[in-house]
Amino acid sequence: MISRIEAYFIANYTNKPLLIKAPGRINIIGEHTDYNLGYVLPAAINKGIYFAIKGNRSSTIRVESFITSPEQIIFDIAANSTPFSSFWGNYFKAILEILVEKKYPLKGFDCVFGGDIPIGSGLSSSAALCCGFIFAISQALHIKISKEEIAIIAQKAEHRVGINCGLMDQYALLFGKKSHALFLDCKTLIHEYVPINIKGYSWVLINSNIKHNLAVDTAYNKRRASCEFIVKKMKAIKNNVSSLRDVSLADLKKIINEVSLVDYKIARYVLEENERVLKMKLALKNGNAEGIGEILLDGHWAMSKEFEITTKELDCLVDIGEELPGIIGSRMMGGGFGGCTINLIKKELLNKSIETIVSQYKLRTGIDAEVYHLQVADGIQVINLAQ
């Protein structure tokens, strides 16, 4: 794909561009914990969004989508951009506005992008889009923007577009490392690499093919609002509480009669999910496949019954997996309401397990699932095609 984007760029913009890959990400465990300043365990993958970019010595910024909803958007640094119909234009507009607000020396450039991350499937195509664009601008225009700052700007852009996300996705794809998960403490933003490959097992994603649009769905933001409400309640009875990270299960019990059961269960889920991330980190380090499987399943059913962000199709995929000896564990992955499950599958039963799960899913839901055998890859980078 990247060489096709480069060829298209050269044919239409006449210059040889700089090429960037911004990967998607998986998450072993830790959903909705990032904005609660908890723990997460994501990893960058070998699917990505690719950018061809080159400065054009003017004040005009032209951005063109390749393949997915082809559209060209023109921004003038000094004036408002022309209206655009594609949703992705909102992310780029937000990013350019933030860069101007932060007084980065923006200049004109041309950019063509396209990718192979399934959109709205929990692999964080939106973070790849945002981080990739900012990184591409910084590289092409020689503007120094640290990865930490790229993450913050990309997060801000998502907030402006409509999703109050945390920083997991951005950190995963900016700091990802081949064959490793990134254990990130979202309170301190200190991270540590944990080996992700388990001998005799494969990590496989199964796409339920139920798509979400997190920026438009309100359910994601509602969960965040519930968490913030609990924090506010806790502040009244405990000092130094600024997020759910500062709250224990024992603390939470003290306010059980002051909050709705829904909000209580949402907060309890977050606290328990943090525990699961810590347990998972240990299980990965020890190569303990059975342990990993159990934690994945615990995580899934908590998201289904307590946090209520799965769909019946995702529950169905996990249900089928639980009946199969080759699938050691699985759970819905990502912000919720659609997307993929992540599965740890015994290599010797890999093909058989996948065949069964796909056919059973079709039988029970009428939907064709897609299977991704992903590799855990390095994070964002400049690509040199001559290599």
Cα 367 to Cα 37: distance, rounded to the nearest angstrom: 36
Q: Shortest approach of ligand ADP to residue 351 CB, angstroms?
A: 28
User: Which positions from 123 through 162 interact with Mg ion, judged by CB under 5 A?
Assistant: 126
Backbone angles phi and psi of 383, in degrees to 5: -105, 135
87, interface contact from Mg ion, ligand ADP, none, CB < 5-8 Å by kind: ligand ADP
Smallest distance, Mg ion to C-beta of residue 89, A: 16
**Nearest approach, Cβ of residue 42 and Mg ion (Å):** 12
The stretch among 35-43, 121-129, 235-243, 266-274 that binds Mg ion (CB under 5 A) is 121-129
Q: Give the Cα separation of 223 and 185 in Å (integer).
A: 20
Alpha-carbon distance of 333 to 337, in angstroms, equals: 10
Q: Which is nearer to ligand ADP, 38 or 120 (CB)?
A: 120
CB-wise, 88 or 175, nearer to ligand ADP?
Answer: 88
Q: Which residue, chain included where needed, has tokens 């993929």?
A: 340
Is residue 121 a contact point for Mg ion (CB under 5 A)? no
Residue type, 159: H
Q: How far apart (Å, rounded) are the C-alpha atoms in residues 373 and 353? A: 13
Task: Enter the tokens of residue 368.
Answer: 């064709």
In Å, the largest CA–CA distance within the chain is 67
Binding segment for Mg ion among 122-130, 134-142, 182-190, 270-278 (CB under 5 A)?
122-130
**For ligand ADP, which is the closer residue by CB, 67 or 249?**
67
122 binds, among ligand ADP, Mg ion, none (CB under 5 to 8 A by kind): ligand ADP
Residue nearer to ligand ADP on the CB measure, 126 or 226: 126
Angle at 179 between CA 210 and CA 132, to 5 degrees: 60
Helices then strands, counting H and E runs in the chain, come out as: 11, 13
What is the C-alpha end-to-end distance of the chain, expressed in Å? 16
Residue 166 binding: pick among Mg ion, ligand ADP, none (C-beta 5-8 Å cut-off by kind): none
Q: Which is nearer to ligand ADP, 115 or 299 (CB)?
A: 115
- Report, in Å, the least distance between residue 162 CB and Mg ion: 11
Least separation in angstroms between residue 86's CB and ligand ADP is 7
Residues that bind ligand ADP (CB under 6 A): 49, 65, 68-69, 87-88, 114-115, 119-126, 129, 212-215, 334
The option from Mg ion, ligand ADP, none interacting with 334 (CB < 5 to 8 A, set by class) reads ligand ADP
Helix (H, G, I), strand (E, B) or coil at 247: coil
Helix (H, G, I), strand (E, B) or coil at 63: strand
Q: Which does 134 bind (CB under 5 to 8 A by kind): Mg ion, ligand ADP, none?
A: none
String of b and e for 68-91 (b: at least 16 CB within 10 Å)? beeeebebeeeeebeebeeebbbb
Find all residues with CB under 8 Å of 165, minimum gap 6, and list them: 34, 35, 127, 155, 158, 159, 214, 220, 335
Residue with nearest beta carbon to Mg ion? 126
Choose the one of Mg ion, ligand ADP, none that binds residue 65, judging by a C-beta under 5 to 8 angstroms depending on kind.
ligand ADP
CB of 207 to Mg ion, least distance (A): 15
Catalytic choice (169, 263, 298, 315): 169
Is 179 in contact with 197 (CB distance < 8 Å)?
A: yes
Which does residue 343 touch among ligand ADP, Mg ion, none (CB within 5 to 8 A, set by kind)?
none
- Assigned token pair, 342: 């992540």
**Residue 293 or 339 having the CB closest to ligand ADP:** 339
- 353 scored as a contact of Mg ion (CB under 5 A): no
- Number of amino acids touching Mg ion (CB under 5 A): 1
315 annotated active-site: no
Instruction: Considering only the stretches 120-128, 135-143, 264-272, 306-314, report the one whose residues sit in contact with Mg ion under the rule CB under 5 A.
Output: 120-128
Shortest distance, position 292 Cβ to ligand ADP, whole Å: 23
| Residue 15 half-sphere exposure toward CB, CA atoms < 13 A | 14
**Rounded distance between C-alpha atoms, residue 291 and residue 147, angstroms:** 34
DSSP 345-380: EEGGGHHHHHHHHHHHHHHHHS---EEE---B---S
Q: Could you list the active site residues?
A: 169
Q: Which residues bind Mg ion (CB under 5 A)?
A: 126
